[in-house]
Every structure is written in C-alpha cells, then in structure tokens.
C-alpha cells in the first residue's frame, strides 16, 4: 500500500504528475489515479488507496476547491488524520479546510530547485516519521473547535468566561467501565453533494441503533457533526470523552451502494475493525445492521451477546427510508414553517410506501406538534394537537419497544395535559432507550413538570450524550429553573446562547434573571427571546415589577392580540406579576378550560409565584398535575 495518496483536480494533472515524480525521487511510494491498471474497478481501488495511505497530499487550486472528488478525498483524510494540504494556486478553500495550515507552492510549475519544494518535502518526511493515525497534537484544544463557534463572537466570550469547564464536565469520560463511541458523519463519496443527506442519515441510523445497547454510551448527532472535518480522530475522542470512534464513507450510484466503516480506538487511533460492503441500493438497510452488530462485537463480547443482531431503520422499504432520511436532513435547518411542511411532505411520502414505518409516524407526530407553533386559530391548533397525538400513538402501536416512539407519545400526552399517561410513557421510553440522547432529553422535558430535581439529572444525562447540543443545554437550564436553582439556570442558558449564536436559551435566561430580581439585565436580554408572544409576556412582567406601569400596559395590550394557543396562560403570568390576582386567576381557569399546552408548567414555573397560595390556583394546578404525581424540588 502507498505511503502517499495524491489528490488533485483533473485540470491540474500536469502539476500532479510533476509532484508525483518529485515524491518518488525522494524515495516515497506514491499513488495517483494514473496508476490504475486496465480492468481495475476505479472506485474500489481509489478508496482502498485513499484509506491505506499514511499521508494524503491535496493540491488545492481554483478547480480543486469545486471538485466533489477532491473535497471528498480531503474530508476522508481529515477524518483519518492523514491530510497534508498544498496550495498550488491562490484560491478560497472550503471553510473546513481554511482552518488547516497549508504548504505554499502557489505558481509552482515543477521547478525542483524551488526552495519552497524543499520545505514541502521536509514536512512530508516529518508527517511520515510516525504513523499519522497515532500522532496527536502537542496542545489539543480544551473546548469546542473554532469552526463550531464561527460567527458567534459573543458566544465565544461567554464560554471563555466559564463555559469551557462546564462543557467538558458534560462530555468528560467517566472511568466506570462503560464502553463509549462517537459515530462521526460518514463521508459522501458519491460525487454529488446532494447525496450528503444519505451518508449523514446512515451515520444517524447507526447512532440510534447503537444507543439501544445497554452499557454503551453513544454521542448524539449535534456533537458528532461538530467533528465532521476532524483532522485527528483521537482529538475528537478526547474532546467528547469517548473510547472509540466510528468513521466511514458512502458511495451511492443509481443501482449500487458501497458503505465502508472503520472503528478505531480513541486514545491511540489503532484500528479495531473495518469492513467495506458493496450491495444493491435496496440492501442498504441490511448493511447498516451488519455494521452496527459488528461494531458492538468489536467493542465488547459482553455487549455483543446482549445485543444479538441489531435491526436498523424500522422499515424494509429502501425508498421509504431514503425519503425519511431526506426529511431528517431538513430537520437540521433553522425551524421554519416552510421547512417543517417540506419535512412533513417527505414523511407522508415515506408512509405511503410503508404505512407501518413506526419511526416515520413518531417523526410525523413531532412535526405536526412543531407546526402548531405557527398556527393562530384555536380550532386549528386543537385539530393539530389531536393529529399529532394520533400519529405518535400509531408509532407506539407499531413499535411498542421503541423508546423513540414512546418518548414522542409522552410529549404528546404532556401537551394534551394528560400528565399521568405522559409520565407512564416516559418511564417506558427511558427503560427501553436509557442511552439515546433524544429520548432522555424528551423524558426530561416531561418529568420537569412533576419532578424538577429528577429532570435536572435527566437533562444533564442527555447533555453528557450530546455535549455540544445547544438545545440540550437550553433544556438543562430550563430544568434548573424549574428546580429553583436560578443562578445555575442562568449560567446554563448563557452557555446555550454561546453555542447557538443566541438562538437557544434566551427564554430561560430572562426568566431566571427576572425571578432573581435583576430587572435591568432581564430587560437587556429580552432581544434574545425569539417568540414575540413570549417576549411580550416577559416584557410586561418585567416592566410591572420594575415600576414602569405604562411600558407594562403597552406590552400587555400587544400580547392580547396574539392568540397562539397559550394566550390565557400568558395573560395569567402578566396579571400575576402586575398584582392583579383576580384577573390572573380568571385567565388561569380559562387556560385550563381551553386545554392550553403552556399550562403544563403551572406547578414549577416561578412566574406564577405571586398567586401560588391562592385556593383557585391550587385547584387548577391539581387538575393539571395530580398531587400524587408532584415531587417538589428539594431546594424550594
């Protein structure tokens, strides 16, 4: 196998040939695609050489940066820790590669006396001096990568002020004997960027399957994808606190799919297991099952015996899975009505092909529930809640042993104010999928309304499984707020804002600051509250308690015009904070009659504190959260 794999754009073939000759003259075994022999299977030979090479030299030029082949090869090299970039033309590299120092051979035409060439050869010798996969950087970063935080200067400052320690605590390795793994995004080698959803989806399916195995900690999607272009898998393992890293690639054509996977030890980069599969497109599901089963076997014989054969995907219809993966890829976008409707159309198409696709039914329930937030007509909101509940019930009926389906149903029951069933489904979900970050996080959201101290534990567990997920940080902060740990809640909210460029955590931060009595800071952070209805509610409360009655009146008047399915609950908060107890209780009772979803927070929200001792308040609270289910926070 070659020492060096040469990656280049076809338009730069002359320069690539000259570089190959120089490297060969220096005594290196070089592979480039001119080495292909008649009869060779192009994709197979190229991929084998790429993965076997100890160093992958990428010649960046204006045509190389737009070449899907070059970008894919460079991505695989970064994941394997073998990348050596060389600039042969002044160009803007893809952002993931801009953060990697490149050798400068701009304008080089093959002159072997060029002093810059000597520097390149010296760097090659250094990089080949020790196996690249084992080499570790002299000073690994101690927090999220710079790439993660691009565009969020305020977020960087907030993390630097104290977030790094907490971030590492969430993801830090525990020496408890638990096996742990991160599944990095699989490289899309299909030559079509539009197929990236498929390679990403396969990685997510593997995460979901592996997360079902007791005794195995699997890092969630958001944190895994922050290391999509990891230059050193051992550094990624260290930052995420895991023992093993699963990487891979997908090459998909109209008729054939090749999935390659490699499991390496996180500390050393030593390969534990690898395999490539060539299958018809329709057999992709079977390949994923074999990969998951093989990975578990490689990690531990005990885990393998417990897992048996792992089933992946929840459907035997490859086209239905393809549509589902497309829908899931859209879910990574910013939340919008158009994106949600596009997702729903894809999910409906998948269900038309396989009406028994349980995971698709669960996702449909989640989508309809999320779309409800963009609806303003109360009858339509009620109909959407019913449709979401029916979809999640269907998912559980089809897959009663799916923790994901059970968690989806638990959220639906919570929104329907049926907390007894919500908590029962939550316990089932947690029993079935105790290490699935999505499931644990959703259960934490439900439990928060009845047992906030336990919700803190659960949301922190979800965060340990996906430590760079700002939504999970926001949920952790909200659980701390419900448990009346206000300073901690504010800190977690700030960290969520730092990781999300201020898109997550604003509600919790403002509420925590307000309840602590810091009205000035609460007011200053109102701009970070995304929903207008929530922002006006908090503004009216803040200004009332700060003594600015006119400003509170104006915010209250504006809030009355927004009927988002929780208007009465929000008015109850405003009137309570304004000292208008009768109006607050009237609004609260109207909220219960209307079955508004926001009222599920009644037992734990500090925003209701001014009326909490009122008998009418207690009657509504007990109707929403039966007294036998409520466990008050110990720090109350």
Structure confidence at residue 77 as a pLDDT band (50, 70, 90): confident
pLDDT for residue 303 is more than 90: no
On average, the pLDDT of the chain sits at 81
Residue 40 has pLDDT above 50, yes or no: no
- Nearest Cα to Cα of residue 321 among 436, 209, 167, 432: 209
Would the pLDDT of 164 be above 70?
Answer: no
Q: Which of 417, 413, 426, 445 is nearest to 622 (CA)?
A: 417
- Fold that domain 4-128 belongs to in CATH: Rossmann fold (3.40.50)
Report pLDDT digits (tens) over 149-163: 222 222 222 222 222
Name the token pair of 370: 């999320």
Distance CA(411)–CA(597), nearest Å, equals 11
172-314 folds as Rossmann fold (3.40.50)
**pLDDT score of 310:** 53
- Contact assessment for residue 162 and residue 491, using Cβ atoms and an 8 Å cutoff: yes
Q: What is the pLDDT of residues 190-235, one digit of tens each?
A: 777 777 887 887 788 778 877 777 777 889 888 888 888 776 788 8
Percent of the chain with pLDDT over 90: 36
**149 in helix, strand or coil?**
coil
- The yes-or-no verdict on residue 280 having pLDDT over 50 is yes
pLDDT range class, residue 341, cuts 50, 70, 90: confident
Least confident of 213-217, 255-259, 305-309: 305-309
The widest CA-to-CA distance across the chain, in whole angstroms, is 90
Is the pLDDT at 534 greater than 80, yes or no?
Answer: yes
Task: Summarize the confidence of residues 320-326 as an average pLDDT.
Answer: 84
Asked if residue 282 has pLDDT above 70, the reply is no
Q: Return residue ranges of the chain for CATH 3.40.50.10140.
A: 4-128
328 close to 360: Cβ distance less than 8 angstroms: no
- Quick one: pLDDT at residue 582? 96
- The mean pLDDT value for 608-622 works out to 96
Is residue 518 pLDDT above 70, yes or no?
yes
CA 111-112-118 angle, to 5 degrees, is 120
| DSSP string over 376-431 | --HHHHHHHHHHHHHHHHHHHHH-TT-HHHHHHHHHHHHHTT-HHHHHHHHHHHHH
Residue 108 pLDDT exceeds 60: yes
As a whole number of Å, the end-to-end CA separation of the chain is: 65
- pLDDT given for residue 305 in this prediction: 55
Does the pLDDT at position 287 exceed 60? yes
Has residue 569 got a pLDDT over 90? yes
pLDDT tens digits along 361-395 = 999 999 998 888 777 777 888 889 899 999 999 99
CA distance 109 to 303: 55
pLDDT at 300: 61
Confidence (pLDDT) at 95: 60
| DSSP 8-state code for residue 184 | P
Is a pLDDT exceeding 70 seen at residue 450? Answer: yes
Q: Is the pLDDT of residue 72 over 70?
A: yes
Question: Does the structure show a pLDDT above 50 at 37?
Answer: no
What 3-state DSSP class applies to 620?
helix
Domain with CATH 3.40.50.10610 in the chain: 172-314
C-alpha 176/C-alpha 19 separation (Å) is 50
Choose between 68 and 600: higher pLDDT. 600
Across the range 457-465, mean pLDDT stands at: 90
97/337: higher pLDDT: 337
Residue % of the chain over a pLDDT of 70: 83
């Amino acid at each position: 196998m070659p020492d060096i794999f040469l990656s280049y754009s076809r338009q730069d073939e002359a320069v690539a040939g000259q570089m190959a000759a120089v490297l060969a003259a220096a005594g290196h075994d070089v592979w480039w695609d001119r080495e292909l022999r008649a009869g060779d299977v192009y994709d197979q030979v190229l991929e084998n050489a790429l993965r076997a090479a100890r160093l992958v030299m990428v010649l960046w030029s204006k045509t190389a940066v737009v070449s899907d082949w070059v970008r894919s090869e460079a991505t695989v090299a970064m994941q394997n820790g073998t990348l050596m970039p060389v600039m042969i033309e002044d160009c803007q590299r893809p952002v993931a590669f801009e953060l990697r120092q490149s050798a400068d051979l701009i304008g080089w035409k093959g002159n072997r006396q060029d002093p810059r060439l000597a520097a390149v050869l010296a760097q090659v010798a250094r990089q080949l001096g020790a196996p690249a996969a084992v080499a570790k950087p002299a000073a690994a970063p101690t927090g999220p990568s710079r790439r993660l935080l691009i565009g969020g200067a305020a977020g960087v400052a907030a993390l630097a002020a104290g977030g790094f320690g907490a971030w590492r605590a969430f993801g830090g390795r525990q020496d408890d004997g638990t096996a742990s793994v991160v599944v990095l995004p699989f490289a899309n080698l299909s030559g079509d960027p539009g197929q990236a959803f498929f390679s990403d989806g396969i990685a997510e399916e593997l995460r979901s399957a592996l997360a079902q195995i007791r005794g195995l900690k699997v890092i969630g999607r958001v944190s895994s994808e922050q290391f999509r272009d990891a230059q050193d898998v051992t550094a990624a393992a260290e930052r995420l606190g895991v023992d093993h890293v699963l990487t891979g690639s997908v090459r998909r054509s109209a008729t054939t799919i090749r999935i390659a996977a490699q499991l390496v030890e996180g500390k050393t980069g030593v390969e534990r297991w690898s395999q490539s599969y060539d299958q018809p497109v329709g057999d992709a599901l079977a390949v994923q099952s074999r990969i998951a089963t093989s990975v578990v076997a490689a990690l531990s014989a005990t885990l393998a015996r417990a897992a048996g054969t792992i089933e992946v995907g929840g459907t035997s219809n490859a086209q239905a899975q393809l549509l589902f993966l497309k829908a899931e890829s859209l879910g990574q976008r910013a939340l919008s009505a158009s994106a949600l409707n596009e997702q729903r159309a894809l999910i409906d198409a998948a269900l038309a092909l396989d009406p028994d696709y349980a995971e698709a039914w669960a996702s449909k329930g989640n989508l309809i529930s999320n779309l409800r937030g963009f609806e303003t007509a109360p009858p339509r909101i009620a109909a959407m809640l019913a449709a979401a509940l029916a979809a999640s019930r269907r998912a559980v009926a089809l897959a009663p042993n799916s923790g994901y389906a059970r968690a989806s149903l638990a959220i639906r029951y919570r929104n329907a104010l049926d907390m007894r069933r919500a908590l029962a489904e939550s316990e089932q979900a947690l029993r079935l999928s105790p290490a699935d970050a999505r499931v644990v996080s959703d259960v934490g959201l439900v439990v928060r309304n009845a047992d906030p101290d336990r919700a803190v534990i659960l949301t922190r567990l979800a965060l340990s499984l996906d430590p760079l997920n700002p939504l999970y940080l926001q949920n952790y902060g909200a659980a701390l707020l419900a448990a009346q740990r206000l300073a901690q809640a504010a800190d977690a909210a700030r960290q969520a804002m730092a990781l999300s460029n201020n898109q997550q955590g604003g509600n919790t931060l403002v509420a925590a600051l307000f309840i602590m009595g810091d009205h000035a800071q609460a007011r200053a952070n109102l701009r970070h509250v995304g929903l207008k209805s929530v922002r006006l509610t908090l503004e009216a409360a803040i200004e009332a308690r700060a003594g600015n009655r006119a400003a509170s009146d104006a915010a209250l008047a504006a809030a009355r015009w927004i009927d988002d399915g929780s208007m009465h609950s929000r008015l109850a908060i405003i009137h309570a904070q304004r000292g208008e107890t009768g109006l607050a209780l009237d609004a609260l009772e109207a909220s219960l009659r209307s079955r508004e979803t926001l009222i599920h927070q009644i037992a734990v929200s500090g925003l209701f504190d001014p009326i909490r001792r009122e008998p009418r308040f207690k009657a509504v609270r007990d109707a929403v959260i039966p007294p036998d289910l409520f466990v008050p926070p110990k720090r109350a």
